[in-house]
Amino acid sequence: MNTFIPIKIRSLAGNLFGLLVASACWLPLQGQQVVKDKSPLQLADQYFAAGEYYTAAYLYEQYLKPPANANGPAFTVYAKKGKSPQGTQDRSRASILYKQAESYRLAHYWINADSAYKKCTDNKDALYWSAVCERSLGKYDEAEENIRKYLSEGTNSQLKEAAEKELQTLQYIRKQLAAPGAGLVNSWKINTPGSFEKGAFAVRAVSGNKYLVSSTKTDSAWVKGVNPHNSRLFYANLKNDSLDQLTPVVLPVAGIADNQGVASFTADGLRIYFTQWKKEKGRIVSNIYYIINRGDSGWTKPALLPQVNIDGFSSKQPFCSADGIYLYFASDRPGGSGGFDIWYAPIYEDGSAGSPVNAGSGINSAGDEQAPFYHTSSGTLVYSTNGRQGMGGYDLFSVKGSDAAWGVPRNMGYPVNSSRDDIYFFAPEDSTLLANAIVGSDRGTGCCLENYLIKRSPKNKRLTGVVRDSKDNSPIADASIVLTDPSGKTWTIKTDGEGKYLFDTLHKDYFNYRIAITKEFYNDTVDVVKINDTAEVNLLTDQLVNTDMYIDKKFILHAENVVTVYFDFDMSNLKEEAVNKLDSVYNVLVQLPASTLQISGYTDGKGSDEYNKKLSDRRARACANYFIEKGIKASRITFESFGACCPLEMELINGRDNPDGRSRNRRALINITKE
């Protein structure tokens, strides 16, 4: 007869290179003969070798701390003081404790693992693994302290190399937690019945608020030697941040030990692509199947997807793009960059797929990539990887592009990612990528992967632009830029050496915002913001580019900008020298249509004030008429007569007349204004 030892059910979903299973740990024993012939330690070693880590940890505990009642239903007491069970004479208690810690860690029971590692005080490697557990538990200070201690005291060169990477991971975590945009994204667990014990993950849209989700189902009939807890697909309704009314999706399976999950509907609802897998000889073997809705005749029987599946290799986690063009999936088939890679294949009208294409080394790494999701409306591929710098375990990355060309993958940051495994991602097509997304992660205290809602506050919209000289297009540095919103609130900044300005931490679209520019020796300029382009800086920030703004340089009145012409005594006619100067001024007026003239007429001190006033007026008019006759509009010219006012030179020196001084005072000044 079979005896099942009652232990805590533990899903393995997402823990072995993104294993899709939600299978529970279980322990069949072939009657009392097994109990008599094999100790818990021998059984623990067997289950450890088979990858049943939580079961192994439980059995190691049975050996290390045997039940007080040796006649209890679980195990005979073998670990009596001073005696060792058969086959364990060369095993120290410390080595068994370390193996138990390894079992808990590999089963992702981080609290138990950390506690066990801390008891292995004589094993330096335990210090490193304890730090890994502490990082997974969010104890970053303790983790860093132990990592640095291990780097100082450890002797395992392979683990010391891993410790250096773990230190980088901790530094990256701190950077993510301190990132300004982290506070714009909120995350909380989606309530799902039974997810704490059974897991719930890989949410995919069906229609409306109806979704597919993968979780664990216990078969009603137990079969000898077969795990009764298997992953299955469920329909669920998403409402008020809860996934409820879980209803099994009835699909035929090849065998009772097979698991099903991680499915994707086509947009028309007529096809479902899903993963079916089982454990063979300690290895997970997975394949992608599909079914078609034939209307009145119902769904077809599941069929292996041709070309996508290859004997001896695994393909899993299919995702059908919203436009129905491509099927994305993860596979360890030949031709990849590392373990599991992201692949995609064209979908044919009959539901089958064409030849898969590897997403390329820009996306795939030497590690493992899995769980692809393509957001068609934003042209963004989201996937999980353990092959790039992240916060620990698997991190979610996003990359813009399509089959024609892919951009550069970016870590989606905290709190989309955590210090644990973050594997599955979903976002509705009618929203931005992080406005209302769902992440499948084991960051919680439950047994396995659960779903977390991701909601981002309105994206930070940075405003940038360039200020240029209107004449030569050169950038203007150190200009004062004042941004004013419709309510009158202002922000002020200076342009940099390249004439650029940047307003950060704003969440508006800048509609009806105004920019005022002031710069020494330039005219003040004001204009409304006119967005010319928008670029995504990261998932939390868009950069809005204002059209280039141009400012005009002021005409500063210097001596070289004032032209002086001289007149003979009691005369107002223009001499040849004066004409040459006025011709030069005329050329400037032609080149600068916006420029104007201000002409001032003067006399020497001889004559009455009334006469000199009239004479200086004739001299100013003579200059003005010269320009008007050459075609310059009178509206661009103003003049004024000052008589004998404001002499430049003394006309009497020691009571004697100074003819040279008088000649320099008989003048007209032409001021050129270029603004």
Q: What's the rounded Cα separation, in Å, for the pair 170 and 493?
A: 35
| Structure token digits, residue 183 | 């506070």
In degrees rounded to 5, what are phi and psi of residue 93? Answer: -60, -35
CA distances from 398 to 182, 354, 380 (A): 16, 25, 6
> Are the CB atoms for 565 and 577 separated by under 8 Å?
yes
Domain 559-673 fold: 60s Ribosomal Protein L30; Chain: A; (3.30.1330)
Distance CA 324, CA 301 (A): 21
- Strand partners of residue 673: 596
- In angstroms, the Cα distances linking 165 to 124, 263, 396 are 18, 34, 18
Backbone angles phi, psi at 551, to 5 degrees: -125, 150
pLDDT of 588 reads 87
Rg (CA), the chain: 41
Query: What is the per-residue pLDDT for 194?
Result: 81
Q: What are phi and psi of 552, to 5 degrees?
A: -95, 140
Residue segments in the chain with a per-residue pLDDT below the cut of 70: 1-37, 67-90, 219-228, 252-257, 282, 447, 505-507, 539, 554-560, 675
Length reported for the chain: 675
Closest CA relative to residue 381, chosen from 367, 402, 365: 402
**CA neighbor of 213 nearest in space, from 249, 258, 252, 174:** 249
Report d(CA 564, CA 299) in Å as an integer: 99
Could you identify the residue written with the tokens 């009657």?
31
Torsion of Cα atoms, 391 then 396 then 399 then 402, to 10°: 160
The CATH number of 33-183 is 1.25.40.10
Beta bridge partners of 342: 330
The residue extents of the domains of the chain are 33-183, 259-456, 460-551, 559-673
Query: Strand 531-538 and strand 667-673: pairing?
Result: unpaired
545 and 535 in contact (C-beta within 8 Å)?
yes
**Spatial separation of the C-alpha atoms in residues 45 and 28, rounded to whole Å:** 15
- 3 state DSSP class of 617: helix
CATH number of 460-551: 2.60.40.10
Q: What is the pLDDT of residue 180?
A: 72
Q: Which helix (H) or strand (E) holds 462?
A: strand 460-469
Cα dihedral across residues 580, 582, 585, 589: positive or negative: negative
Given this structure, which CATH class describes domain 259-456?
mainly beta
Taking the model in full, what pTM does it have? 0.68
Residue 69: per-residue pLDDT: 58
Question: Given this model, what pLDDT does residue 435 score?
Answer: 87
Residue position matching structure tokens 């059974």: 198
Distance of alpha carbon 129 from alpha carbon 135, whole angstroms = 10
| Nearest CA among 300, 293, 296 for reference residue 207 | 293
Side-chain half-sphere exposure of 45, counting CA atoms within 13 A: 9
Backbone angles phi, psi at 271, to 5 degrees: -140, 145
pLDDT of residue 66: 79
* Half-sphere exposure at residue 10, Cβ-oriented, CA atoms within 13 angstroms: 24
